[in-house]
A and B are shown apart, each in its own frame.
Chain A
Amino acid sequence: MSETPAIELRGINKSFGPVHANKNIDLVVKKGSIHGIVGENGAGKSTLMSILYGFYHADDGDILVNGKKVTIADSKAAIGMGIGMVHQHFMLVDNFTVLENVVLGAEDSAMLAGGLDRARIELKRLEEEYELRVDPDALIQDLPVGLQQRVEILKALYRSAEVLILDEPTGVLTPPEADHLFKILEVLKKEGKTILLITHKLREIMAATDSVSVMRRGEMVATRETQNTSMEELAELMVGRSVLLRVDKKPAVPAEPVMEVENLCVTDQRGVQVVKDVSFSVRAGEIVGIAGVSGNGQSELLETLSGIRRATQGRLKINGETIDLGTSTLDAADMRARSMGHVPEDRHRMGLINSFSEYENSILGYHRDPAYSSGLLMNIAAIKENAVAEIGKYDIRPPNPMLKTASFSGGNQQKIVLAREIERDPEVLLVGQPTRGVDIGAIEFIHSRLVELRDAGKGILLVSVELDEIRALADRILVMFDGRIVGERGANADEGELGLLMAGVEDNAKMSVEGDVR
């Protein structure tokens, strides 16, 4: 070891209440390299990086920057040591210009004018040096996410960051945008910057990094040179045993369609069309998977079908009824009445009310069901009885219906939602990101429940950004890109081919991204 590492962590520990998020973490990051950190959701990657960026304080352990032991009291200190961070959720002020966002916190003096002028010149220089073109006077809210991320990188470079941490940077990017990002990272590396890339996507690690460290349940389990490892090995390290995301299932025996969607168009609150003329059907006894990079209209599709969001046009045939979605005022309750269940993408924000007890959550959305009422009042005894039955059947732990759902683990929370939606025996089940932030054991359980439901002759529409999950579960795969369904493949579709579809038609996509800049 001749060269001093850019960053070295020794024995970092961090707990949030009872949760031990980081356990004795050691990490060495070489200067001028791209170092990946992989792990499942909740493995502690973001916490570790937040400690490095001074956002949280480690309970114990040492941080060494350029071989010197330092204390990083806050983000300001981290910035002072040349550490910059691009957060998963961009830290930008939407109604400020690019220039204002870049200087925020790094203004030269008490008066703005001088600092803004200097920043304009400096931005120009960075633009040329790193090929990071952005209009300095554009408002953030008018920029596409890819460019917003570029502003985040510029912010860090403007503060002369030598070490750049990127937290799940591709989650919101289209594949071409992601490719562009990796090119930028290569340029940065050539200029001598050190890059820490946090992700849970193994493909990106293999494509972009020099070395990689794997985290699992708050522990750092291994570090490898990227060229000496494989996706299989990393996957095994991530989950602690060899993963076969192969669900044990028989071939589907689909019958007649139970849900048909025709020419669906949806516009979001900003007036941007996010679902564009989408048509497809789901048959009884099959799982239709929708693959795609997050933010390509899948969320809006699910929300529209489930009655949460309004469409601008389109028809939905379900339960023997044709609904004009452009004019329909049916809400989620009405859709449930038409035998449509919905496991939402985000259980914290939507699927559960975490300050409510488990038994109350077990009827959320079904509270008007006469089975849970006696006269004018709710029948609490019947509700609890039902909750206890579901807890047993889905092995929900701890088995206590009085507990608030906030105190259940991610996997058990998801089981509560799943039990609620499946046990009402819907003809169609909409499922979004069923295993996000869920531990491996629960993933298998959830997958087999979905297959069981399929085998019982129900139709399932599955949206997931995890391609592996789609490939493991779906009998038919639709790929969404930029609000459209751009392709349909069978269950055993080639991974590379799906990846290409998810990226849209590559050249056109790039044009549209670049087009917004100029």
Chain B
Amino acid sequence: MFETLILILDSTVRLSTPLLLACLAGLYSERSGVVDIGLEGKMLGAAFGAGAVAYVTANAWLGLLAGIGVSVALGLLHGFASISNRGNQIVSGVAINFLAAGLTALLGQTWFRQGGRTPALPEGGRFRDIAWPYAEQLREIPVIGPLYSELLSGHNILVYAGFLAVPLTWWVLFRTRFGLRLRAVGENPAAVDTAGISVAWLRYRAVIACGILCGFAGAYLSIAQGAGFGVNMTAGKGFIALAALIFAKWRPANAMFACLLFGFLDAVSIRMQGQEVPGIGEIPVQFFQALPYILTVILLAGFIGKAVPPKAAGIPYLKERS
């Protein structure tokens, strides 16, 4: 029983990581007042960029860099549409999701001719799991042993990066000048403008930060968790991350718990497939798959606390004409 639990928690960590990275990415963007439903597309683009470059160069780090590059480029496109041209941010996000879905498959087929997939990664093209010191030796110690060697040790570097990004994001947001301005511009851009700070540049930086983290999230899927890019490999994870962001009420620590919860549900559903629950019978796997969305809707309905988005989220900034 304990072993099962550790296994479920271990896969919870693995499954939460991409959600967490994307969720924090969205946090930067939305806190600055730019709604981003293009997380999915940016992740997908990053996964492809990372997979393709890691395959060609056999270097995971270059892959990661490429993933970030693709994701930031898509983020800048979102910025160009919604910040510079004051377009509808939802529409722009939808467009980016389409572009990423289409271009990755199309270019994947053109370049690698494996139905849109990138070929299996060579050695060095993938982030390997890192074993912590004495992980093997400590395994046998009851309780602490499995916790240390299964749960803490033995993940790839992006997992650790994801969880380190949580305190880092908190620190940036609440302890730095950039964070103060970022939060201000998401609440009242006119206040930022009249204080002599460029609203557009601030939001662009937020969108870039969002792109970088989405780059990590995408790279995690294709060159850390997986061994190559597969068509539409994000499969809605960007939207779960978005749900988690709302669930977390746009706060970094909450984001981690929300992503862990959604990752846990995913892990349980995989585990529960075909198994009977005493007294209930078999719970359909689709129920667990839908649960994150159902929970988010219930939260949005205001039945468990209230999710109040940044006040200026989704509204293009226009200097008002007196």
Contacts and interface: CB of A to CB of B under 8 A. Distances in A.
Nearest to B190: A91
A455 interface: no
B179 A105 contact: no
A96 B184 contact: yes
A120 interface: no
A371 interface: no
Interface string A42-57: 0000110010011110
Contact of B192 (A16, A104, A106, A109): A104
Interface in B184-241: 184, 187-188, 190-198
Contacts of B175: 111-113
B119 to A, nearest CB: 44
B191 A101 contact: yes
Contacts of B195: 75, 79, 91, 104-106, 155
B177 A112 contact: yes
Contact of B176 (A50, A74, A92, A111): A111
A111 B177 contact: yes
B196 A75 contact: yes
Given A79-B196, A112-B180, A95 B187 contact: yes
Contacts of B179: 112
Contacts of A365: none
B184 to A, nearest CB: 5
A70 B187 CA distance: 32
B187 A76 contact: no
A100 B177 contact: no
B187 A75 contact: no
A110 B176 contact: yes
B197 A76 contact: yes
A75 B177 contact: no
A74 B321 CA distance: 16
A75 B176 contact: no
Contacts of B117: none
Contacts of B249: none
Contacts of B190: 89, 91
A401 to B, nearest CB: 26
B199 to A, nearest CB: 11
A395 B311 CA distance: 42
A126 interface: no
A103 interface: yes
A346 interface: no
Contacts of A75: 193-196
Contacts of A105: 181, 192, 195-197
Give the most central of B179, B191, B192, B197: most A CB within 10 Å. B191
Contacts of B181: 104-105
A78 B195 CA distance: 10
Interface residues of B, number: 25
Nearest to A54: B196
Contacts of A85: 194
Nearest to A44: B322
A103 B195 CA distance: 9
Contacts of B198: 74
Interface string A119-163: 000000000000000000000000000000000000100000000
A308 interface: no
A87 B194 contact: yes
B196 A96 contact: no
Contacts of A74: 196, 198
B221 to A, nearest CB: 33
A505 B284 CA distance: 70
B203 to A, nearest CB: 15
Contacts of B177: 107, 109-112, 115
A104 B191 contact: yes
A460 B191 CA distance: 40
A143 B198 CA distance: 27
B183 to A, nearest CB: 8
A104 B180 contact: yes
B196 A92 contact: no
Contact of B311 (A55, A77, A94): A94
Interface string B25-60: 000000000000000000000000000000000000
Contacts of A79: 195-196
A207 interface: no
Given A91-B194, A94-B311, A50 B187 contact: no
Nearest to A77: B196
Contacts of A110: 176-178
Contacts of B193: 55, 75, 91
A271 to B, nearest CB: 15
Given A55-B194, A76-B196, A94 B178 contact: no
Contacts of B321: 16
Contacts of A46: 322
Contacts of B197: 76, 104-105
B184 A93 contact: yes
B192 A94 contact: no
Given A95-B187, A104-B184, A105-B181, A112 B194 contact: no
A92 B188 contact: yes
Interface in A1-50: 16, 46-47, 50
B194 A47 contact: no
Nearest to B178: A110
A76 B195 CA distance: 7
A176 B250 CA distance: 41
A50 B196 contact: no
Interface in B145-184: 174-181, 183-184
Contacts of A55: 193-194, 319
A94 B197 CA distance: 18
B176 A93 contact: no
Nearest to A46: B322
15 contacts: A16-B321, A47-B322, A50-B322, A76-B197, A87-B194, A91-B190, A91-B195, A92-B191, A93-B191, A100-B180, A101-B191, A109-B177, A110-B178, A112-B175, A155-B195
Q: Which 5 A-B pairs have the closest CB atoms?
A: A105-B195, A76-B196, A46-B322, A91-B191, A107-B177
Given A50-B322, A93-B191, A104-B181, 18 more contacts: A56-B319, A75-B196, A79-B196, A85-B194, A91-B188, A91-B190, A92-B188, A93-B184, A94-B188, A94-B311, A96-B183, A96-B184, A96-B187, A100-B184, A105-B181, A110-B177, A115-B177, A155-B195
